Amino acid sequence: VSPEKLALEALLRRALAQGEFQVYYQPQVDIATRQIIGAEALVRWQNPDRGIISPAEFIPLAEETGLIIPLGEWVLLSACAQTASWLAAGFSPFKISVNLSARQLSDPQLKARIVLILETTGLEPANLELEMTESAVVENATVAGATLNELKALGIRIAIDDFGTGYATLGYLKQFAFDSLKIDRIFVRGANEDAQNAAITTAVILLGHSLNMTVIAEGVETEAELAFLEDQQCDIIQGYLFSPPQPALIFESLLVTNNRLFGQELATVSTGVVPFVPLSDREKSQNLSSSGWEAV
């Protein structure tokens, strides 16, 4: 092990103990209504000396050292607690998606940990989606298969992440009934003009739909990509075009102003949408409700 790695590992342990991690939220948007119908929870490490460190730099090491178990559990707990309080505050229902690594998937305690987190936070299982890559599932096929079925039986949704970039065969789509399929951004990029990406994206959307999965396109950065995905009847988009991952407070303000994004007003907001009462700022919420943000 390199000295640099050891140093990083020590830093990671300390960071966990000292609460230097934060969860960011990236909206997932219904392509037909432009409504935020979900968010992906993405961990950030705010180091006092090095600033914000991206997960690409520390997740692999956390995975290698097993630190991903406590870290992943912390992310899950924070994201579920935060979402439960948004829902309790009256934001219209959305799902929180949390990433699970290979190591977590092979943890025999995983289901018990998740059940406890749902009980503690009061989040309904139907509001939780767990994202896992095909490689993570395939590496742990036996344990993961059993765990996945148990989680699904609880009503939790399962998404297959980075679809098409791993080394799994299509057989596992049949073996594990995933609820959602996330098309990796390497295929989404320029799908409107790159013939190969267009072909792959179109085929994957069809494949997902024929297997009854919700299809989510990741890394949508341009209006042209969005238009292409809409033509191909993709269900949900996620990407910088709408918003990068944001701290909870900023995500919350996105929820509040959602129907003014994309430069268009929503035609109708479905009835059943409950009034907004942001937790963070009582005054702001009073202003909102006195300016017409009331129950419909």
Residue 161 binds Ca ion, judged by CB under 5 A:
yes
Amino acid at 143: V
Q: What is the DSSP letter of 109?
A: T
Binding Ca ion by CB under 5 A: which of 162, 225, 235, 252?
A: 162
Residue 99 binds Ca ion, judged by CB under 5 A:
yes
Stretch that binds ligand C2E, among 48-56, 83-91, 140-148, 256-264 (CB under 6 A): 48-56
Tally helices (H) and strands (E) across the chain. Answer: 13, 10
Q: What is the DSSP letter of 157?
A: E
Q: Which residues pair with 42 in a beta bridge?
A: 24
Q: Using an 8 Å Cβ cutoff, are 214 and 181 in contact?
A: yes
> Between 73 and 161, whose beta carbon lies closer to Ca ion?
161
> Between 12 and 42, whose beta carbon lies closer to ligand C2E?
42
Partner from ligand C2E, Ca ion, none binding residue 239, C-beta < 5-8 Å depending on class: ligand C2E
Rounded Cα gap, residues 84 and 77, in angstroms: 10
By rule CB under 6 A, what string of x and - marks binding of each residue 84-113 to ligand C2E? Answer: ---------------x-x------------
Stretch that binds Ca ion, among 55-63, 123-131, 192-200, 271-279 (CB under 5 A): 123-131
Residue 59 binds ligand C2E, judged by CB under 6 A:
yes
Burial of 273 (0-12, 13-18, 19+ CB in 10 A): middle
Residue 56 binds ligand C2E, judged by CB under 6 A:
yes
Residue given tokens 């007003």 in the structure block: 265
Partner from ligand C2E, Ca ion, none binding residue 56, C-beta < 5-8 Å depending on class: ligand C2E
Residue 183, C-beta contacts closer than 8 angstroms, at least 6 positions apart: 163, 164, 201, 204, 205, 215, 216, 217, 218, 234
Torsion-angle region of 47 (φ positive above 0: left; ψ -120 to 50: alpha; else: beta): beta
Stretch that binds ligand C2E, among 4-12, 30-38, 82-90, 237-245 (CB under 6 A): 237-245
Residue 240 binds ligand C2E, judged by CB under 6 A:
yes
Q: In whole angstroms, how close is the CB of 288 to ligand C2E at the nearest point?
A: 28
Rounded Cα gap, residues 177 and 167, in angstroms: 18
Binding ligand C2E by CB under 6 A: which of 187, 219, 258, 278?
A: 219
Rounded Cα gap, residues 173 and 167, in angstroms: 13
Under the rule (CB under 6 A), what is the footprint of ligand C2E?
A: 26, 42-43, 54-56, 59, 72, 75, 99, 101, 161-162, 185, 219-221, 239-240, 245
Under the rule (CB under 5 A), what is the footprint of Ca ion?
A: 99, 131, 161-162
